[in-house]
């Protein structure tokens, strides 16, 4: 019941969050398969309803596997100042997420971190997005 | 029903009077070319005000200005941290850290503590026995047939209809943006979430025959003074706003209260589902454009991922 207690403390707005996601992440990704991927971006797909980052991940033996990482809505990314120039081929990123239930090389990008330690898009409470504009 | 309308109008007036001074400083907007009051522009209803009043605010319909500021600050802090829920399932469900969402940072301008204004306790009325029966049947269906095929998945996942895009329009996780256009005889509401457009005729034509059902219902608009009233019926039995039946009768009211604000209110009448009608209200705030195209089918890999995930789980269970 520990999680329930914390959930209540977080407030109703956060409790309903999973219901409001575009799709059920719990149906697509597996909580028993957390992944931490260090890879090189091969491309980023700016598509609806969610953007996807593709990365090459090299294992200890030097074998390279391509992974797809699910991101947020492209509209939101753009409003937060993220453009096609923000994540480009050749960039190194660290992805912290969960692997898909079907076992393919897909994961949700719970956290996407650059090599300088900056987390993608995190850290601003006033993003300039609609609804965030300060009252005139 | 007349009495209820009068009461609501009274409540609306009280709410307007409670608007912060900054929201009242400008005169109501002028009219568009054909004489309709002007609602045109790009608007957002993103807000942290919840639909129903949180238990800790029971009996409190409005925040004071200081309380609203404190609540916004508290929510900003909660939403801005890279939180790790204690439960892994919750962590997976949230998808990403909070920065990927765009839920707004402000309470509604009326400073109400819930979007539901009637019943006055801020809660959606209880379901009727029939409403409960249908809800239970849906829950059982979801449990037994979670992902047999695409038809088992939600309308949102299938990019058919977004549950908050409306009607009625509710704040969603992102893309809670709307463009209102007024052309002679029509009001058009373009909804960014899954790029829907509502064409609302104002010429007094009757609703479609009851045999014709539409995902977003059949809207008819008229002006009540400076308020646009939109009456929508003819929903499908798959639209199901908060469990409503296809006989949902929705009445929305749009009132421009200043240059940057529309007071938006909707009344839900569905005796088959709710033990009494209920009304919600929020403010639409003017925001910068443009609206972006949200062509949901473009790369909806997640639906494939969900179905293939379900097949993989079935195989695991057979082992």
User: Tens digit of pLDDT for each residue in B129-173?
Assistant: 999 999 999 999 999 999 999 999 999 999 999 888 889 999 988
Burial class of residue B219 in the structure, from the number of CB atoms within 10 Å of its CB (0-12 exposed, 13-18 middle, 19+ buried): buried
pLDDT at A40 over 60: yes
Tell me which chain B residues have a C-beta less than 8 angstroms from the C-beta of A45: 299
Tell me which chain A residues have a C-beta less than 8 angstroms from the C-beta of B26: none
Residue ranges covered by each domain of chain B: 2-318
pTM score, two decimals? 0.83
Cβ–Cβ gap A100/B293 under 8 Å: no
As a whole number, mean pLDDT of residues B192-203 equals: 94
Find the radius of gyration of the CA atoms of chain B.
21
For the ranges A56-60, B99-103, B255-259, B282-286, the lowest mean pLDDT is seen at B99-103
**Are B293 and A73 a contacting pair, CB within 8 Å?**
no
Residue A7, C-beta contacts closer than 8 angstroms, at least 6 positions apart: A14, A15, B85, B87, B90
Handedness of CA B278, B248, B220, B181 (dihedral sign): positive
Q: Is B159 on the interface with A (CB under 8 A)?
A: yes
Q: How confident is the model at residue A4 (pLDDT cuts 50, 70, 90)?
A: very low
Pairing relation of β-strands A106-108 and A64-70?
parallel
Among A101, A97, A114, CA closest to A41: A114
Cβ–Cβ gap A23/B306 under 8 Å: yes
- Shortest alpha-carbon distance between residue B128 and chain A (Å): 23
User: Tens digit of pLDDT for each residue in B56-83?
Assistant: 999 999 999 999 999 999 888 776 656 6
As a whole number, mean pLDDT of residues A50-68 equals: 94
Cβ–Cβ gap A22/B99 under 8 Å: no
Structure tokens belonging to residue A59: 């294992």
Q: Is B206 on the interface with A (CB under 8 A)?
A: no
The pLDDT assigned to B9 comes to 39
Nearest C-alpha in B relative to A74: B294
- Higher-confidence position of A90 and A24: A90
The pLDDT assigned to B90 comes to 77
Q: Which A-chain residues 93-122 have CB contacts (< 8 A) with chain B?
A: 98, 100-104, 106, 108-111, 119, 121-122
As a whole number, mean pLDDT of residues B34-46 equals: 93
Distance from C-alpha of B187 to C-alpha of B181, rounded to nearest angstrom: 6
Three-state SS across chain A?
A: CHHHHHHHHHCHHHHCHHHHCCCCHHHHEEEEEEEEEEEEEEEEECCCCCCEEEEEEECCCCCEEEEEEECCCHHHHHHCCCCCCCCCCCCEEEEEEEEECCCCCEEECCEEEECCCCECCCCCCCCCCCCCCCCC
Q: What percent of chain A has pLDDT over 90?
A: 39
Residue B269, C-beta contacts closer than 8 angstroms, at least 6 positions apart: B248, B249, B250, B251, B277
Helix (H) or strand (E) holding B227: strand B227-233
Three-state SS across B176-203?
A: CEEEEEEECCEEEEEECCCCEEEEEECC
Burial class of residue A31 in the structure, from the number of CB atoms within 10 Å of its CB (0-12 exposed, 13-18 middle, 19+ buried): middle
Q: Which A-chain residues 18-57 have CB contacts (< 8 A) with chain B?
A: 18, 20-32, 34, 45, 47-50, 52
Nearest to B260 among A103, A122, A136 (CB): A136
Helix (H) or strand (E) holding B256: strand B249-258
- Shortest alpha-carbon distance between residue B299 and chain A (Å): 6
Q: Is B85 on the interface with A (CB under 8 A)?
A: yes
ipTM here: 0.78
Class of CATH domain A28-114: mainly beta
As a whole number, mean pLDDT of residues B255-282 equals: 97
Q: Is A63 on the interface with B (CB under 8 A)?
A: no
**Are A51 and A44 a contacting pair, CB within 8 Å?**
yes
User: Tens digit of pLDDT for each residue in B5-18?
Assistant: 433 333 444 444 44
DSSP assignment letter at B274: B
Nearest to B92 among A26, A119, A131 (CB): A26
Tell me which chain A residues have a C-beta less than 8 angstroms from the C-beta of B173: 17, 20-22
Q: How confident is the model at residue A130 (pLDDT cuts 50, 70, 90)?
A: very low
* SS3 state of residue B278: strand
Q: How confident is the model at residue A12 (pLDDT cuts 50, 70, 90)?
A: very low
Determine what percent of chain B falls in helix, strand and coil, rounding each to the nearest 5: 30, 25, 50
**Are A78 and A62 a contacting pair, CB within 8 Å?**
no
Q: How confident is the model at residue B127 (pLDDT cuts 50, 70, 90)?
A: very high
The pLDDT assigned to B97 comes to 62
For the ranges A82-91, A121-130, B240-249, the lowest mean pLDDT is seen at A121-130
As a whole number, mean pLDDT of residues B264-289 equals: 97
How wide is the angle at C-alpha B14 spanned by C-alphas B13 and B15, nearest 5°?
90
Structure tokens belonging to residue A2: 């520990």
Cβ–Cβ gap A122/B99 under 8 Å: yes
The pLDDT assigned to B47 comes to 95
């Amino acid at each position: 019941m520990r999680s329930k207690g914390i959930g209540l403390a977080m407030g109703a707005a956060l409790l309903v969050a999973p219901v409001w996601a575009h799709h059920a992440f719990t149906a697509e990704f597996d909580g028993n398969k957390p992944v931490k991927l260090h890879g090189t971006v091969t491309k980023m797909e700016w598509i609806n309803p969610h953007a996807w980052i593709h990365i090459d991940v090299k294992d200890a033996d030097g074998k390279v596997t391509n992974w797809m990482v699910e991101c947020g809505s492209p509209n939101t990314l753009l409003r937060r100042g993220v453009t096609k120039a923000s994540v480009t081929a050749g960039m190194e990123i660290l992805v912290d997420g969960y692997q898909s239930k079907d076992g393919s090389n897909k994961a949700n990008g719970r956290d996407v971190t650059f090599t300088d330690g900056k987390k993608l898009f995190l850290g601003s409470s006033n993003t300039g997005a609609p609804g965030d504009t300060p009252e005139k | 029903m007349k009495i209820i309308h009068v009461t609501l109008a009274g409540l609306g007036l009280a709410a307007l009077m409670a608007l912060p001074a900054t929201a009242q400083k400008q005169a109501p907007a002028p009219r568009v070319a054909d004489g309709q009051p002007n609602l045109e522009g790009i608007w957002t209803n993103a807000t942290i005000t919840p639909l129903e009043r949180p238990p800790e605010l029971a009996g409190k319909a409005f925040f004071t200005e200081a309380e609203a500021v404190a609540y916004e600050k508290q929510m900003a802090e909660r939403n801005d941290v890279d939180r790790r829920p204690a439960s892994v399932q919750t962590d997976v469900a949230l998808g990403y850290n909070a920065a990927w969402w765009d839920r707004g940072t402000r309470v509604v301008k009326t400073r109400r503590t819930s979007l539901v204004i009637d019943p006055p306790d801020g809660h959606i009325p209880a379901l009727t026995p029939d409403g409960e029966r249908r809800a239970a049947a849906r829950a059982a269906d979801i449990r037994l047939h979670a992902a047999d095929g695409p038809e088992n998945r939600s309308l949102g996942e299938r990019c058919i209809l977004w549950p908050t895009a409306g009607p009625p329009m509710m704040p969603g996780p992102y893309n809670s943006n709307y463009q209102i256009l007024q052309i002679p005889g029509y009001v058009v509401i373009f909804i960014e979430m899954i790029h829907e457009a509502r064409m609302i005729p104002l010429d007094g034509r009757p609703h479609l025959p009851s045999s014709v059902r539409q995902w977003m219902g059949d809207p008819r608009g008229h002006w009540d003074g400076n308020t646009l009233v939109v009456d929508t019926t003819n929903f499908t039995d798959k639209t199901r706003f908060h469990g409503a039946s296809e006989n949902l009768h929705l009445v929305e009211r749009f009132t421009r209260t200043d240059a940057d604000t529309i007071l938006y209110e909707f009344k839900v009448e569905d005796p088959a589902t709710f033990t009494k009608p209920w009304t919600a209200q929020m403010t639409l705030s003017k925001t910068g454009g443009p609206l972006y195209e949200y062509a949901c089918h473009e790369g909806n890999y997640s639906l494939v991922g969900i179905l293939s995930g379900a097949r993989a789980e079935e195989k695991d269970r057979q082992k």
